[in-house]
Structure 1
Amino acid sequence: MGNKELAEDSLIARRRDVEEEEVVGLVHDSNEVISQLERGDWSRRVVCILGMGGLGKTTLARKIYNGDKIKSMFRCCVWGFVSNDYRAQELLMSLLKLLDLPAEEYKDLTDQAKMKRKVRERMSGKKYLVVLDDIWNTQVWDDLQGAFPDDNNGSRILITTRVKDISHYTRATFTYELPFLNESQSWELFCKKVFCKEKCPHELEPLGREMTKACKGLPLAIIVLAGMVAKKERSPREWIKINNHVSWYLAQEEEYRIVTNILKLSYDDLPQALKPCFLYLGVYPEDYEIHVRRLCQLWIAEGFIQKKEVGPSNSPEVEDIADMYLDKLVERSLVQVASRRTDGGVKTCRVHDLLRDLCISESRENKFMEVCTNLDAIKCNSRRMSLQYRGELRLTEDNQSSARSLLLFGENTYWENESEGWKQIKNGFKLARVLDMNRVVLCLSPRGLKTLIHLRFLKVRASSVRIGNDVLASLCNLSNLETLYLGIEKPITLPNKIWKLKSLRHVYLDIDVYVLTEKLSVGASISRMKIGETKVKNLQTLRSIYLNARTASVLSKGMFPNLTKLTLCREVTELPEPPEKELLENSLRCLNKLRTLKLLGIAKLPLDRDAYPTSLTKITIGYFPPLDARMIKTLGQLANLRTLKLFRGGIIGDVNCVAGDFPQLQVLHLTDVQQYGRWKVDGGAMPQIRYCNDPRIL
């Protein structure tokens, strides 16, 4: 790595030190709002944060929500994203997840009234804080307020909105109008984002202050501008050039266009390779929490990510390049991190609505993408089409399109005959690369699927075993397929022919949460494979595969030599099987590149550390009968294990960790794990640990 790359990495690391909680101008604001949450009688009260888009309402609310003072004041805290594209059932479902509703109770929540009743039950008797972020209309309050009990215990509801009438309608006892940053605060925020803990060089300060003034005190504009400036050389010559660009952009439009111009300037400054990745974020609905792994797979399927040949043994995988591209968009403040993985990587992200508007307008102008919010308007000349409208997702014969990518965002839809959509897909999207059918459940065989020979990414749900098997059979003809997400509710079998797809990289068999029970009876089997068959060299991910003799046989033959992520689950069968420990040993034997292993419902683990690939960095074990503590001790001897997660199970006996155990472990996370013994951690054990959620251990 050269000096330039090292300097850039150092800059990125320093900028990450500027946490969201340190955004300037919010200390007084948060104290003011918190004091109002404390005041008043014991009845349920509403407090409102009001301001225009990009002013920092969500940032302020998040700072309050995450503060220690709030955690000590309220026994129960939940956060709901509302947005302009509000759907009551989705929001209620997100609240129930935060309220830890048991998985088995989700299947009974068939309508909005039952969901509201369940939310009320989960919160009853608790002093709570509910945050409803970005309310646009009064209907939201009418829909939701009945879900929040008033037990006369000091509970509070904090809302953020850009519509002043919302404050009056909800009878907020206090409304805090978030001000724009003054010049001093704007400059402080700009410097934090560009220089972190360093001071701005004296010769750059006048130019920096001039650029910052153009942002008119809007935090989003300042952050985005600073993200661009931080990537540039720190010299008067370069900053004069940037300042001239800012002035030129701002001179073209009226004052209300200032923010858009600054956002567009940052977009124009992106390297060419990042521009389509950024524009693609517009395919998601407003305030949508984007799963980064799936986003990167879509980028790859669209052809935005090209594998770079660095050398015969140093060529990064396309997934690694996609992750790097996302990090660069985050670093430039064009993408907001919504949640992080335990290893620190970005798990989900969001795009501010002003930036999303920019994505859509730029995409429409150059026919990169079209967002359709009206079913009658689906006559698209763009290469990509995103359907985002209320109601069921139906396509008609009139909906002709030249798009090669179709992404569907709407309510759950069951396609029960060809005229409801599939016929239009096979006739109108013959050149499709991407079919992301998020909420569509196929109730008929997709007979035209096998003709979509250019398809690289498919996400769909099947209503039955027959439909699921028909989907899999159709895929065997699609030689370009890279990523498959198939939603299932019944066990299926992966056919042998699917492994002849040389481009296949990721196979996810998605199981609805309410069918994931202790018995774990839903998953997929692998058909028997002949010894000597061609290896599937590109396959990296296999999710929800039964641990049985056939699986062990296939994996032990080294048919998937580059597999990095594997989820195995227990198969409920009356037929005799070899012991789980033996099956698992055979399954892992040839997986020399496996990094992530997830085991569901499996009670017996190998006691020999040599049975596990040395490449393993993360192990998750869930829904398991009580494990022998010696098995945990064995995991502690894995040299590269960094993350260990255990949930819904038990441990029998004492786990004795001595010096040298868990040498690289950074994250230990236990959820609903009954311990019939103690964890004993001696000095020198877990030397790298930085997070453990169970105080009984550390």
Structure 2
Amino acid sequence: MDFLDVVEVVSAVILQLKARSYGESYIIDRAIIQVAETIRKDLERNKYFLINGEVEKLLENLLAAVYKMEDFAETVVPRRMHERRMGFGRRYIFILRQILNLKARVDFASEMKKIVSEINHAIDELGVSRQSHPREESDVIGSEEEKGKMVTWLTDTNSCPNLGFILISGQSGSGQTTLATKIYKSREIERHFEFRAWVSASDDHVSNLRSILQKITEDSMVVDMESTERESMEKKICEILHKKRWLIVVDNVQNPNLFKTRPGSALSDVGDGSRSRVIMTMTTTSENECLIKGFMDGYQSLCYELQPLQDEDAWHLFLKKVRLLPDNVESSDIDKLKRKVLAKCEGIPSAILVLGRFLSTKKCYEEWLAVLEHWDSKIFALMNSEQLSGSRPCLLYFGLFPKGYEIPVRRLLRLWLAEGLIVTDNRNPEEIAQGILTNFKNKGLIEIVKRRKDRSAKTCRMTGILYDFCLSKAEDIFGLLHIHPTAPDDESSDASPKFGVRSVADHCDIKNYSRKYSHMQHLRSYLSFNIQKKDTPVVGIGNFLSEVIGHRGFGLLKVLDLERVYKPTLPQNLGQLYLLRYLGLRWTFLDTIPHSVSELRYLETLDVKHTYISSLPNSIWKMEDLRHLCLNEIRLDMENRNNISLTKLQTLWGLFVDNNSPVENGLDRSINLRKLGLTFHLDHDSVDKLNAWIAHLEGLESLRLRSKDEDGRPSKLELKPLSSLKNLTNLYLLGNLPELHSEYFPQSIKVLTLSVSKLEKDPMPILARLPKLSVLQLLADSYNGKEMVYPNGGFQSLKSLKLWMLKELETWTMEQGAMQNLEELEIRCCHKLKEIPIINRNSIGKIILTNMQEEFVVNVRAKFPKEILETPPPLPVRCDHCRDVKQTQQNSSTTGDA
């Protein structure tokens, strides 16, 4: 059990509780603030010094106490809501509650005080444990000789009077932080320096100064300050540290030049005989070697680079963390194992420790070899590094998905937020979640499987040994994830969980779930991957959810994700999952949804896309926390909805709007949208109001507009200029456009799709001037002209071009310098087109021709290398108007996965 992982899950739980107000239950609010302060001061401070401590039982005690606090606190809200909804005898229950109120408050406060005491005791024991395990010092990296040498440099002011900065560098996982920790905690350093502080580095110098100021003042308010002038913070630090002998350790520095200081600031005193010092730890890469050299040349500094361990030292460290296999294993096999371990870890201490702990969970020699076959030490060393600070729970969350499963990025990010794994004051927490996912990808922890046309990530996955590693950590460390066995007779299904069952991933059929109610009464999330045949509805889910709601009449579930489960049964009292934040029913093909869904007041995501659900309760407009609403051409009643207040809505996709549900009845109050997909049938005045509302959506990034007549066929699209939408990147338009104007499109557009536009005038002179346009898709009847000219120097960013079902198009002219970066061309059902013009062969990588005349295909084959030409089997349909429309609607997802 790793201390860093436990710290982060504990901190995430407390931050999540702290972000929610429990109203009249002020005792809970006060207790949460108290625990949060304890964690900030003590637990966070100790996380640098307990990375490899043998304190598993103490960590379990801490987790158990924090989970107990979470359960106790979050039960208050649904219990209160449930009592308010009780019908029979409500008046008498109210009177009885008032009589018993005093005793209840006393018992309540006593229980809360007891839980807080348990948490504080667990944290205190962890601190004591560190001091009572001195042998742990020999487990960490960095010999006593290294430590002694650096302590001398820091304290001997006669031999090194002007030394200011010491930079401890090395490969990732070499033990820079651990060596700095040993130095920082040594008795010589404690005696020599009047003041010491430990700070985790940021990429922003102001944030670094704020962290230092908070450490030296012990003032939590400094951390909460949104912005502080750099000069004022430097002055304040200087006032506090002036004429004191101090040491500051700045851990995990990315760029040492951020600490270049101006004359008169506190840090400028180091290296000037002041006897104050700054230690930085930094990972050496090929990219930052020049930064390190430049910093060393500009300051009175010393760089100490940690080297990989020698083979015998590395093997000795490995044997400290793993018990060798039974005696019946041949010595030659042990030698083979030793060579593989040393080769995989390359002398990196963190990699050796992580590998040793993971191998200790395996049962036989063959399993060890299987692990070593796929082990990447640089990747696994990250698991114990500060580079994943704040995001470990998000990484371990991949363990809930089946191994190798392609996870929609849209789904993953919203689940992280609903689970409370990311707590932020940022107005758009989805950006924070996206940043974490990008960081995982950049560090090689996950892979992007599919990308959208604009190259953004569409699906991702974690595969191989890293998945097994994360799953084992999540199950063991958190007691957080339970994977319902893929086989009903799996013996592990009845194992007693350490902290009860808090998350269930159903990989087969939940009807075989044998957990006792006591184990799942605090269940927080349920994800099903029970993908059966589409003629077999999944019936066990309803019974399981009814058990979760249980005899209390409510449940604590926050996430219910049934995406792609065919027609699952849902209990009619679904609304009694009062805390539910995520309800994912995409691709379930459900016909209806329980009306009680209207009681889910904390819901953030409601996804019924690709279902047959045709209506939702009108009270959906009262869900003030709703951020993502994904529908399936549903018309919602908005008449006289003066209390609509969906101001947090980020995604509104699949809504049908007509004259009976006008925009001005409340929908226009949703002004923070980033993704909007509308189908509408409106009169002229209502279309003007729709356009006016859209023009004010300044944060809009993706827009799909489809205009239809009363028979559901594409009709006139009265488009107004969209040039005010400076953030709009993806645009899909279905409907008749008399002609295009340059002000229709903002300069930010990257992906543009036109369908059934029936343009008579060549649109290319206008579209060619869009500087960022990378994907252009002209679908069925988007252009009715015979000739298309790509102007000189136009389309410089275009990477992908689709021409589908342009029935009248005969000639295509490419002027000099146009479309120089085209990579992919797809032409379908353009039967009158005679030939392709000359395209830059250095950039083009794929040409797809479908349902084209044989003569045309022969001409193209003669011009381009055969390896880039694809001719899929002909579509077994005619290219008539109805088929065109249906086909374009099926491909409407090109504006992004909402």
491, 506, 513: which is aligned to 1:387?
506
Describe the shift of the 1:528–1:497 C-alpha distance in structure 2 as closer, same or farther (beyond 3 A).
farther
Instruction: State TM-score, norm by structure 1.
Output: 0.55
Aligned to 1:404: 524
Are 1:650 and 1:674, in contact at CA under 8 Å, matched by a contact in 2? no
Q: How does 1:75-94 map to 2 (within 5 A)?
A: none
1:449 aligns with 2:574: yes
Q: Deviations over 1:629-672 (max 9, x none)?
A: 53454433445433223456664322222236445434334567
Describe the shift of the 1:556–1:419 C-alpha distance in structure 2 as closer, same or farther (beyond 3 A).
same
1:353 aligns with 2:464: yes
- Determine helix, strand or coil for the equivalent of 2:529: strand
Q: How does 1:264-275 map to 2 (within 5 A)?
A: 264-269=380-385, 270-275=387-392
Describe the shift of the 1:307–1:680 C-alpha distance in structure 2 as closer, same or farther (beyond 3 A).
farther
Mapped partners of 2:630, 2:838: distance in 1? 34
Mapped partners of 2:764, 2:309: distance in 1? 55
1:657 aligns with 2:790: yes
Structure with larger Rg: 2
Aligned to 2:154: none
Q: Larger strand proportion, structure 1 or 2?
A: 1
Mapped partners of 2:424, 2:466: distance in 1? 28
Describe the shift of the 1:576–1:273 C-alpha distance in structure 2 as closer, same or farther (beyond 3 A).
closer
Mapped partners of 2:825, 2:343: distance in 1? 33
In structure 2, give the amino acid aligned to 1:288: Y
Q: Deviations over 1:547-585 (max 9, x none)?
A: 3228846643527823322333454633999x5221x43
- Determine helix, strand or coil for the equivalent of 1:542: strand
Quote how far apart the aligned CAs of 1:326 are. 1.6
Quote how far apart the aligned CAs of 1:278 are. 0.9
- Determine helix, strand or coil for the equivalent of 1:644: strand
Quote how far apart the aligned CAs of 1:361 are. 0.9
Aligned to 1:286: 403
Q: Deviations over 1:447-504 (max 9, x none)?
A: 323333322222115878861xx45x65544343332321345483567653443433
Describe the shift of the 1:651–1:564 C-alpha distance in structure 2 as closer, same or farther (beyond 3 A).
same
Aligned to 1:181: none
Aligned to 1:607: 740
Aligned to 1:245: 350
Aligned to 2:583: 458
Quote how far apart the aligned CAs of 1:292 are. 1.9
Aligned to 1:9: none
Quote how far apart the aligned CAs of 1:276 are. 1.0
- Determine helix, strand or coil for the equivalent of 1:329: helix
1:328 aligns with 2:439: yes
Are 1:652 and 1:677, in contact at CA under 8 Å, matched by a contact in 2? no
Mapped partners of 1:217, 1:605: distance in 2? 73
- Determine helix, strand or coil for the equivalent of 1:339: strand
Aligned to 2:65: none
The number of residues matched between the two structures is 463
Aligned to 2:656: 525
1:423 aligns with 2:546: yes
Q: Larger helix proportion, structure 1 or 2?
A: 2
1:508 aligns with 2:669: no
Describe the shift of the 1:540–1:276 C-alpha distance in structure 2 as closer, same or farther (beyond 3 A).
same
- Determine helix, strand or coil for the equivalent of 2:382: helix
- Determine helix, strand or coil for the equivalent of 1:683: coil
Mapped partners of 1:426, 1:553: distance in 2? 47
Are 1:633 and 1:655, in contact at CA under 8 Å, matched by a contact in 2? no
Aligned to 2:730: 596
Are 1:453 and 1:477, in contact at CA under 8 Å, matched by a contact in 2? yes
Aligned to 2:484: 372
Describe the shift of the 1:341–1:223 C-alpha distance in structure 2 as closer, same or farther (beyond 3 A).
farther
Q: Deviations over 1:345-375 (max 9, x none)?
A: 3332221231111121111112232211156
Are 1:299 and 1:305, in contact at CA under 8 Å, matched by a contact in 2? yes
704, 713, 717: which is aligned to 1:567?
704
Describe the shift of the 1:612–1:481 C-alpha distance in structure 2 as closer, same or farther (beyond 3 A).
farther
Describe the shift of the 1:417–1:323 C-alpha distance in structure 2 as closer, same or farther (beyond 3 A).
closer
Describe the shift of the 1:555–1:563 C-alpha distance in structure 2 as closer, same or farther (beyond 3 A).
farther
Q: Deviations over 1:175-207 (max 9, x none)?
A: xxxxxxxxxxxxxxxxxx9659999x9x98973
Mapped partners of 1:277, 1:568: distance in 2? 35
Aligned to 2:80: none
Aligned to 2:247: none
Aligned to 2:30: none
Are 2:591 and 2:613, in contact at CA under 8 Å, matched by a contact in 1? no
Describe the shift of the 1:328–1:448 C-alpha distance in structure 2 as closer, same or farther (beyond 3 A).
same
Quote how far apart the aligned CAs of 1:407 are. 0.7
Quote how far apart the aligned CAs of 1:285 are. 0.7
Mapped partners of 1:222, 1:539: distance in 2? 53
Quote how far apart the aligned CAs of 1:248 are. 4.3
Describe the shift of the 1:648–1:403 C-alpha distance in structure 2 as closer, same or farther (beyond 3 A).
farther
Instruction: State TM-score, norm by structure 2.
Output: 0.44
308, 320, 331: which is aligned to 1:207?
308
1:439 aligns with 2:439: no
In structure 2, give the amino acid aligned to 1:581: L
Are 1:393 and 1:410, in contact at CA under 8 Å, matched by a contact in 2? no
Are 1:396 and 1:421, in contact at CA under 8 Å, matched by a contact in 2? no
In structure 2, give the amino acid aligned to 1:456: R
Unaligned 5+ residue runs, structure 1? Answer: 1-192, 227-241, 310-314, 512-521
- Determine helix, strand or coil for the equivalent of 2:349: helix
Q: How does 1:48-197 map to 2 (within 5 A)?
A: 195=286
Mapped partners of 1:217, 1:649: distance in 2? 66
Mapped partners of 1:639, 1:535: distance in 2? 32
Overall identity of the aligned pairs, in %: 25
670, 691, 712: which is aligned to 1:536?
670
- Determine helix, strand or coil for the equivalent of 2:398: helix
- Determine helix, strand or coil for the equivalent of 1:680: strand
- Determine helix, strand or coil for the equivalent of 2:546: helix
In structure 1, give the amino acid aligned to 2:348: N
537, 541, 550: which is aligned to 1:414?
537
Are 2:704 and 2:732, in contact at CA under 8 Å, matched by a contact in 1? yes
Unaligned 5+ residue runs, structure 2? Answer: 1-283, 294-303, 319-335, 634-652, 828-835, 840-898
Mapped partners of 1:451, 1:692: distance in 2? 52
- Determine helix, strand or coil for the equivalent of 2:537: strand
Mapped partners of 1:433, 1:553: distance in 2? 40
Are 1:605 and 1:631, in contact at CA under 8 Å, matched by a contact in 2? no
Mapped partners of 1:222, 1:504: distance in 2? 52
Describe the shift of the 1:585–1:360 C-alpha distance in structure 2 as closer, same or farther (beyond 3 A).
same
Mapped partners of 1:477, 1:534: distance in 2? 24
Quote how far apart the aligned CAs of 1:294 are. 1.8
- Determine helix, strand or coil for the equivalent of 2:670: coil
Mapped partners of 2:753, 2:712: distance in 1? 27
- Determine helix, strand or coil for the equivalent of 1:325: helix
Root-mean-square deviation (CA, aligned residues, Å) is: 4.9
Are 2:480 and 2:501, in contact at CA under 8 Å, matched by a contact in 1? yes
Mapped partners of 1:590, 1:479: distance in 2? 34
Are 1:666 and 1:689, in contact at CA under 8 Å, matched by a contact in 2? yes
Quote how far apart the aligned CAs of 1:405 are. 1.2
- Determine helix, strand or coil for the equivalent of 1:558: helix
